[in-house]
Chains A and B, each alone.
Chain A
């Protein structure tokens, strides 16, 4: 079997997949959930419940009319005891609904269907939107928006992303092994929605068992237009742009989205959620995630209700040592948390617990750049991280922009390989933020100038008219 990969760049770190053979089990249902209203990329939701309301599992508690948004649902049955700003795993505060569990586990009425043919395309899309499905790989982009590309854009391929190149995380792996049919159904739904010609499930070749199970089910079900392909185990193989290049040889234009080259990429966990939303009518009230790391006593893959606080999960899995670092996501791209009071959100693919060794895993102290060119050689985007870093340190955002800082996918490879332990990824992120801020300011300036110009012209016209 041919093994695909992107080129150039990338790294081969130790995979640390401690939990790849641990089956998914339910984490305990928490007494209190904190559900942020903003868990997706896009416009925030406004609450549709008030304090004191009783909610059932799956009830919409926050919604928005904005095009790019996804509603949030209650993940337990109980009483709304608070609506306040709370810290989310991404480090920003969001208005959140706090619900106290009555442990009655009452669900809203779901509307299961038997066959995909029972629903029109609009009905399918509505189910996906109303279920609040977002990309579960971490980007949290609303799935319904991704599945409605602009008019006239032809999508020929749907890629199911089962690469799971992040270290430690094994949730996609377990999803593929335990729910192959749901993932296949998810692809079939997307193919139908987009009129695509075929589906591809791309899996890194360290998960051959998952590829075999999916392949077997595809053959048993007699499906012709879905193919399972292996990609080389190499970080960041699962990056959307890298995966498209590896599997199809296409490159998403700079600043563009995959649909511009006729592709939609969806994480396998998202595909499973889409299939549950469409067939079972089940909203996204829980998700599978990996809890791992050197300080976790019972590392494993757990199904966790959205809004469960990290502290409840830490109590559940136990600590082997003092906890010094709590990471939401994987070690390469995840976000270190300042408190254990943060909730699991839709985009939380893993929770990693580390003790004192976190500081030797990632030394903080920088030494001067020795121009070894490792960052240039390993960047999967072909950037020159060291030069963008220099530009930022000199506060030269224009140079950073010319060096294509905005094309950075923030995979962390440059910081990983740097022998001088320079904070390259961090600084490129800062440069990106700076450039975007600058653009906003300039756009505002331009708008103000245009407005003034128009005013002046109007005034002089009026003057002329008077004369």
Chain B
């Protein structure tokens, strides 16, 4: 027998761990966003949206690198989280955004939204939405200039951009019946929203593709179903109560992108199961309130940022510990 070397290492249990990793999780998010991203390119004229995404991602990674340097942190580029933030930011920008604004958005997202709080896991607000919020309050006109989708079927792709308004804005500023008229019928409006053939941000238009990405993340156990389901469910029910078309309310605007990819951002959402549900309900209520009573047609961004601020309170809904009973639960 050949003698084998014995050189023992002592570590604490468990001595076996799941093969998951932060990089793997972020990679899965990138995969889940790919369909909506590709659709955004097709829908809004390939080159311009592609450049916005590329610039946003590169600027985010650069900002992360600079942030690591400024705050004397170990490089965190490899965990892909800056890439995810960059992609998410680009997907919630109008297709006509000027490139310099994208860069400012990306730096705001990473530096203001994440690095000053201590980097990954420590940011109380969703970084991509912080970046977008900075742009919305700084350049409101640029952030509400929409272009019509150019895709009219693959046979007749014409890339002449025309400005327009999002369905939510039309429903708000004119009326819902006007909107239905524009699209011919309620069904064709739903269809356009579901497929994504409407004006809007680069990645928010197709409810179908976002739903596919969201379900992928739920199946891969990257995100919990609780936040998107309670969020979308609340918007559906409340819109109905407020006398609006609930199906239109959940398909239009950035709700699906927000519910599956923004509200579920780990570090800015609750960690307790009950907290997650309440958080989803809360941002759902705020979304409908903003959409109904404010001058903004869209409410997803601000409601998620507001929900982020309340996360420590939602996290007080701790799970019940085994063997610890509330008084009323104790059997006589």
Contacts and interface: CB of A to CB of B under 8 A. Distances in A.
Interface of A: 8, 11, 13, 167, 241, 245, 251-256, 295, 314, 318-327, 329, 331-340, 352, 354, 358-359, 361-364, 367-373, 376-377, 379-384, 386, 404, 407, 410, 412, 415-421, 423, 425-426, 429
A379 B319 CA distance: 10
B14 A332 contact: yes
A358 B9 contact: yes
A167 B16 contact: yes
Contacts of A295: 4
Interface in B243-299: 266-267, 269-273, 276
Contact of B5 (A322, A362, A419): A322
A367 B8 contact: no
A354 B7 CA distance: 11
Contacts of A410: 13
A373 B17 contact: no
A403 to B, nearest CB: 8
Contacts of B269: 371
Q: Which of A256, A320, A376: most chain B CB closer than 10 A? A: A376
Interface in B317-332: 318-325
B10 A251 contact: no
B323 A407 contact: yes
A389 B5 CA distance: 36
Contacts of B219: none
Q: How large is the interface on B (under 10, 10 to 19, 20 to 34, 35 or more residues)?
A: 35 or more
A268 B321 CA distance: 28
Contacts, number: 177
B283 to A, nearest CB: 17
A322 B270 CA distance: 45
B273 A377 contact: yes
Nearest to B21: A419
B16 A368 contact: no
B24 A254 contact: no
B18 A407 contact: no
Contact of B16 (A324, A362, A372, A373): A362
Given A384-B319, A386-B271, A415 B6 contact: no
Nearest to B4: A319
B323 A412 contact: no
B271 A376 contact: yes
Given A318-B1, A407-B321, 20 more contacts: A8-B319, A241-B322, A241-B323, A251-B323, A254-B321, A323-B7, A325-B15, A336-B10, A340-B6, A361-B17, A362-B11, A362-B14, A362-B15, A368-B121, A370-B25, A379-B319, A417-B18, A418-B18, A419-B18, A423-B12
Nearest to A91: B10
Nearest to B23: A419
20 contacts: A251-B322, A251-B323, A252-B323, A323-B4, A326-B8, A327-B15, A340-B8, A358-B9, A362-B14, A370-B120, A370-B266, A373-B271, A404-B321, A407-B324, A416-B14, A416-B17, A419-B18, A421-B17, A423-B12, A429-B12
B141 interface: no
A338 B9 CA distance: 7
B322 A245 contact: yes
Nearest to B329: A251
B113 to A, nearest CB: 15
Contacts of B24: 419
